[in-house]
Structure 1
Amino acid sequence: MVRMFGHHPWTVGDLVAGVDRGSVRLPDIQRPFVWPNAKVRDLIDSMYRGYPVGELMFWTNRDSAHTRPIGAEVKTQDASYQVVDGQQRLTSLYAAIKGLQVWREDYSRELISIGFNPLTGRFEVPTPIVRRSVEWIPDLKSVFDDPINARYDYLKRLRSDQARTVDMEVERAAEIAITRLYQLLSYEFQVVQVKEDVDREVVADIFVRINSEGVNLSSADFILTWLSVFWEEGRAQLEKWARNSRFTPREVTTIDREHEPQAPKCSWTPSNPFMTFHPGQILRVAIAVGLNRARLADAYNALRGRDPRTRTIHPERRDIELTKLKDGQAQSLNPLHWDEFLKVMERAGFRNKSMITSTSTILYTYALWLIGRNRFGVPVDELREVMARWFFMSQVTGRYTSSPETRMQEDLNRLDGQAETSAEFTKTLTSQIEAALPADWWAVTLPDALDTSSVKSPAWVAYVAALNILDADVLLATSKVKDWINPNRTTVKGIEKHHLFPKAYLRDQLGLRSVRKINQVANFALVEWSDNIAISDDPPNKYWPAEVAAKNLDENRRWRQEQWHALPVDWTMLGYEEFVNQRRNLIAAVTYEGFKRLTDANYEPDLSRPDADTDGGLNPLLLPTLENLVTAGWLPAGTLLEPVDDASSNTAEITEDAYIKVGDHTCETVDIAAREDNVDVESGWDYWRARLDTEDEPILLSELRIRAAHAGITTAPAD
């Protein structure tokens, strides 16, 4: 056996000096982020108490071209040792002792400072109280700079407190503690030093094996590590994209010139109103486009050239897969492609980050957009329309929320092997859209999904997107919803989600105590913020006529607004439970009309509302909600639910609050409960079966609610 390493002791002082000179550096296989300050505090506290804090691993290598220095200062020596494992500990220690700024994960700069109390031996991340207290040294850097002066200044501060007696015992305790802290420079780390003749691929494999034993790295991290070995330029491109997604071109220019005054001016960044990237996220797009893979674990093995049966590495396979990745990444990072794709989001009615419930949906839709544009040659105008429908569908159904890699791989497989024509691409995606959104989905599933108090729910967000598509007004205003949500609009406050049945009225007059009931999204409407302040806590039949009269809107316009905002006819005369049930149905109908307009730009939406006295019969829209079934006794609290999939042994339970408890998590809806059980289904009603005393066999929840509807259970009984 060839021994690739040896053990060597390094003191903290030696480590700091090595980093300071530049002889100890980070290789490009490492991630550039540092621990949160609280974790740095815990590390120093453990060392102060003499606890072991783990080994470090260095690679003895003088190849400075593949390293970056720790800290921002100019280094006086070339690299001699590269950190393979222990980057976070070493960077954190160095920054705290030297008082340096570090890059955070969001690419912001932050100074690490740790406070120290010599009288108690405690360490804290400095708060305003710690900084003002005479008992604390606000930043332990002062101790490592000059322990004598640090002790002198500390005792001087103590004596400035007239209410405190600083006697010889206090002075001695402070001196011992400060000296002990300074002696951390003599604290020894055991360093495993990998020998110089070990090549970069083996070192990268060592790094992956070490970290794969914990939960620190994802498959994306493994691939980024691999790229550092075989395509360093590619990884640098991904990191640059991720960093620049957080800043405007002007900001990037300023940042670059802080470190290199002659850096060229930045003219474009992928900054957008929807998301900021991590390198692994845009890598996911590049892999889907170039390698036709969504599962990053499979992509990692493919890139390594590893035969899945023999586990042997084949360099020729590796080179082929790398070429594919380079092509996919070139497409993904093309500014023209990204700017064109952003128009897809706008066309779909999505305007800013608050409307995005799944960043995976953005990433995978962008990947499919690139495939359609480059592999299938779909004209950009036609592609924008089909991908806008795809994005809307994926968002509202949560297509990429549960098991996203599996679902995306299925989507990629459907396109693989098809004739690479514009018509085939559009046909394939359209068939999936229609399968995911049949008519009964809009009539049953969507109203049920609107039985929630979460304004981040895909169902509510899709409704807001539909209002944008339909060019809807803000309620009782002449402004447009899409203008208020415009990411480029800079206002103190925009539109607010107003309770149509005011909170105080529901609580004080109707006696409702459930926050979930009061804050139902079906009780919200988008109004200008000044209107929300003006509306009192009166019942709707009192405040609404006054608001309508004050606005003096054209009757046709007001009627149209009531249609857009899904207000039932004579809604102010309804009871609260009946109102939210009817409005869920109307919100679903408006959302559907927005989607139809998205499908056909010339479509004229039908926003007509049923008359107040219409007998809906057993319309699918009136199927009972989960809460209806629980409160009516059809699904009593404590009822056990089991999956239809016999392969799953998990069970769930109905709670007294009409939720479903799956493991330690409480879920608002049956769909969320199904996703909590790690399944990807169209409807949770068809996933769970209830064990009831009245039934010989477990009964599907979808069948139970139909029975309840026939029995007249369509709204919850009055409190």
Structure 2
Amino acid sequence: MSIQQYSVNQHPIQTLLTWISSGEIAIPEIQRPFVWDATKVRDLIDSLYEGYPIGYLIAWRNPSVKLKDGTSSEGKRVLIDGQQRVTALMASLLGARVINKDYKRVNISIAFNPKERKFEVTNPAIKKDKTWIANISDILSQDVSLLKVVNEYCEKNEGSNQDEIFKSIELLRGIVNNHIGLIELNSDLDIETVTEIFIRINSQGAVLSQADFAMSKIAANETYNGNKMRKCIDYFCHLAVAPEFFQQLAEVDKGFSSTEYFKKMSWLRSENDDLYDPSYTDMLRVAFTSEFKRGRLQDLVALLSGRNFETRVYEEEIAEQSFKQLEEGLFKFMNETDFKRFVMILRSAGFVESSMIRSQNAINFAYIVYLVQRANKIEPATIETNVRKWLVMSVLTGRYSGSPESSFDFDIKQIGEIGVSKYLENVEAAELSDAFWDAGLPQQMNTSVASSPYFKVYLASQVHANDKGFLSKEITVRDLITHRGDVHHLFPKNYLKKNGLTRGRYNQIANYVMMQSEINIAIGDKAPSEYFSKLIDHCNNGSTAYGAITDIEEMRENFKTHCVPDEMENKNIEHYDEFLQERRKLMGQKIKNYYWKL
């Protein structure tokens, strides 16, 4: 017989709002931007008024914790689904202010027309219209006399049917007695089970990540600054994208702007580099893994709850220590010198534009590698080499694309045992053999996706080598990438289309080069045999055909840096597949040489 994993109860909305106001149910998202627009709040109130169901809320009870004095404290419930609905109810029914997407505290006023029994978002016209009650929260308080409200309304609106108005407003005031379902999950469930239950119950099939659960646990704790840490993570990630938000944050949230957290992130006010703009999941993952030497966020949730992994009981001291450790990890993540130096290392590996790094988890673990080595006082040159190589290796092998948490956990434990340098050598021996460079990588490059990680690494190798653009004398690949230059085709696209090739065939990454648009336009849809012959003839005569290169040796060097196979002046449509195969191998070798120079 299966054990019930959760309980389901119906509660009046008034009861739930009281529990939330008193902190019996923690609603962590109350400090985060409210993403619903006001019309959605209006629709929710209208549904309640009509007696329609508004779905279930899901709460997960924190486990009971053994306190230092030996007594036990029962854990509070943490709301993990339904934050937006609860926030909408608190804003519209209780008049609570919410934080909008600009992090400003605002009121959401819903107006009610008792004659027509209609709801609308309050606007200046409605405020002037006597037939509307401009803000329903003004009449929902138990202290307000229903009779007085009805009389005042009827005085302003002559000819109103007092009984009908009474019924309309009485029905409105009664919506706080409508029931809403609360699903309460057992405290001893692990994250996988909670996620599974959540997906099965949630009608929209929305996915909650482990980071969402961790963030809810953090925010619900005020004893050890969890609520401030939650804000710290949110605000840092927002400032990294929008530094202009700094002044507003300082003014809007004065309580937070006086904390050490705010001081540690204040350098972001003048930071415009967007190569690594972490999300809250990224920041949490890096801070946790680098500081706790664990990769699974479910372990963080357990530790913040006070779990002793050996005795399997929950202890306050472990919770306290875990929050302190997480705080330390966040401070290290936000350190201006380290963050900027890490980004500089990414750039030094040739990744000069955010679109070049297709795996956020590869960057995250590269930052973990950086922070762990910094903590171990490894010399700077070694740190830089290891970070660059780790990033490129993990992108090329898709190391964190399958189950990143398991890979994070495995890698950080190996690093803890033998150190980054030794572990990196072991990984290289296992995964970057000659077979990988000569056969595996060229085979992976048989793709038409321009955003392919292999093509991005190839471009990084060109930036790292300071290569000039295809047929360019002065303009570099770096220039073309950072100024949104174009990717063009060695076998021109229209030439291949004329010969009946489909998109998947002509858009092969082994057919791509970074080239100035004007050169590409001049080449048009000519066969390689035609335009390469012209290039070589002109260079032999010391003149230009396409681009600015006039010297034949310089031209051949340019071909070599772009992995262009020999004898392109003899190649036509029948040579296309052979050309792709040959170029993939040359590109693979270029990436290999680049990797070992990192």
What does residue range 539-618 of structure 1 map to in structure 2 within 5 Å? 539-545=527-533, 549-553=545-549, 554-572=551-569, 573-574=571-572, 575-598=575-598
- Residue in 1 that maps onto 2:234: 239
The percentage of aligned residue pairs carrying the same residue is 26
| 1:436 pairs with 2:431 | yes
Q: Alpha-carbon deviation of 1:28? A: 6.4
CA contact (8 A) 2:565 2:582 kept: yes
SS of structure 2 residue aligned to 1:30 = helix
CA distance in 1, matches of 2:459, 2:10: 62
CA contact (8 A) 2:48 2:178 kept: no
CA distance in 2, matches of 1:520, 1:181: 67
- Residue in 2 that maps onto 1:502: 492
What does residue range 88-107 of structure 1 map to in structure 2 within 5 Å? 88-92=84-88, 103-104=100-101
CA distance in 2, matches of 1:109, 1:565: 54
CA distance in 2, matches of 1:110, 1:532: 53
Q: 2:83 aligns with which of 74, 81, 87?
A: 87
User: Cα 1:10–1:500, aligned 2, differ >3 Å: closer, same or farther?
Assistant: same
- Residue in 2 that maps onto 1:292: 293
Q: Alpha-carbon deviation of 1:224? A: 2.3
**Residues 65-95 of structure 1: per-residue CA shift (max 9 Å, x gap):** xxxxxxxxxxxxxxxxx98863201434677
| 1:214 pairs with 2:204 | no
The answer to which structure, 1 or 2, has the higher relative contact order (CA under 8 A, 6+ apart) is: 2
CA distance in 1, matches of 2:583, 2:89: 58
- Residue in 2 that maps onto 1:517: 505
- Residue in 1 that maps onto 2:250: 256
Equivalent AA in structure 1 for residue 592 of structure 2: Y
CA contact (8 A) 1:273 1:353 kept: yes
**Residues 371-412 of structure 1: per-residue CA shift (max 9 Å, x gap):** 11112x211222111211111111111111111111122211
What does residue range 350-365 of structure 1 map to in structure 2 within 5 Å? 350-365=351-366
Q: Alpha-carbon deviation of 1:251? A: 4.4
CA contact (8 A) 1:244 1:271 kept: no
| 1:532 pairs with 2:520 | yes
CA distance in 1, matches of 2:86, 2:395: 42
- Residue in 2 that maps onto 1:457: 452
CA contact (8 A) 2:467 2:561 kept: yes
CA contact (8 A) 1:222 1:300 kept: yes
Q: Alpha-carbon deviation of 1:510? A: 1.1
**Residues 442-485 of structure 1: per-residue CA shift (max 9 Å, x gap):** 11111111110111211111101110111111111121112333
Task: Structure 1 unaligned segments of length 5 or more: list them.
Answer: 59-81, 115-120, 124-136, 152-175, 195-201, 419-423, 599-719
User: Cα 1:274–1:92, aligned 2, differ >3 Å: closer, same or farther?
Assistant: farther
User: Cα 1:526–1:409, aligned 2, differ >3 Å: closer, same or farther?
Assistant: same
SS of structure 2 residue aligned to 1:382 = helix
| 1:224 pairs with 2:215 | yes
CA contact (8 A) 1:57 1:192 kept: no
CA distance in 1, matches of 2:168, 2:555: 75
User: Cα 1:319–1:101, aligned 2, differ >3 Å: closer, same or farther?
Assistant: closer
User: Cα 1:262–1:210, aligned 2, differ >3 Å: closer, same or farther?
Assistant: closer
CA distance in 2, matches of 1:323, 1:263: 20
- Residue in 1 that maps onto 2:390: 390
Structure with the larger helix share? 2
- Residue in 2 that maps onto 1:688: none
SS of structure 1 residue aligned to 2:545 = helix
Task: Structure 2 unaligned segments of length 5 or more: list them.
Answer: 1-6, 60-77, 111-116, 134-163, 200-206, 536-543
Q: Alpha-carbon deviation of 1:40? A: 6.0
| 1:445 pairs with 2:440 | yes
**Residues 286-339 of structure 1: per-residue CA shift (max 9 Å, x gap):** 111221100111232233232457642123333343443333333222221111
SS of structure 1 residue aligned to 2:29 = coil
Q: 2:463 aligns with which of 468, 475, 486?
A: 468
User: Cα 1:341–1:417, aligned 2, differ >3 Å: closer, same or farther?
Assistant: same
Q: Alpha-carbon deviation of 1:544? A: 4.4
User: Cα 1:536–1:101, aligned 2, differ >3 Å: closer, same or farther?
Assistant: farther
- Residue in 2 that maps onto 1:655: none
User: Cα 1:454–1:184, aligned 2, differ >3 Å: closer, same or farther?
Assistant: farther
What does residue range 635-674 of structure 1 map to in structure 2 within 5 Å? none
Q: Alpha-carbon deviation of 1:567? A: 1.1
CA distance in 2, matches of 1:503, 1:41: 53
| 1:29 pairs with 2:19 | no
SS of structure 2 residue aligned to 1:294 = coil
User: Cα 1:253–1:313, aligned 2, differ >3 Å: closer, same or farther?
Assistant: same
**Residues 173-231 of structure 1: per-residue CA shift (max 9 Å, x gap):** xxx9xx9999878644646899xxxxxxx99999x998874145332223223323133
User: Cα 1:465–1:374, aligned 2, differ >3 Å: closer, same or farther?
Assistant: same
What does residue range 120-131 of structure 1 map to in structure 2 within 5 Å? none
| 1:479 pairs with 2:475 | yes
CA distance in 2, matches of 1:430, 1:498: 37
CA distance in 2, matches of 1:533, 1:364: 41
**Residues 497-545 of structure 1: per-residue CA shift (max 9 Å, x gap):** 11222222222x3112x32112111111111233334442232333445
SS of structure 2 residue aligned to 1:485 = helix
SS of structure 2 residue aligned to 1:452 = coil
Equivalent AA in structure 2 for residue 287 of structure 1: F
CA contact (8 A) 1:285 1:363 kept: yes
CA distance in 1, matches of 2:417, 2:409: 14
CA contact (8 A) 1:55 1:191 kept: no
**Residues 119-165 of structure 1: per-residue CA shift (max 9 Å, x gap):** xx999xxxxxxxxxxxxx9x6757865666789xxxxxxxxxxxxxx
Q: Alpha-carbon deviation of 1:358? A: 0.8
CA distance in 2, matches of 1:240, 1:108: 13
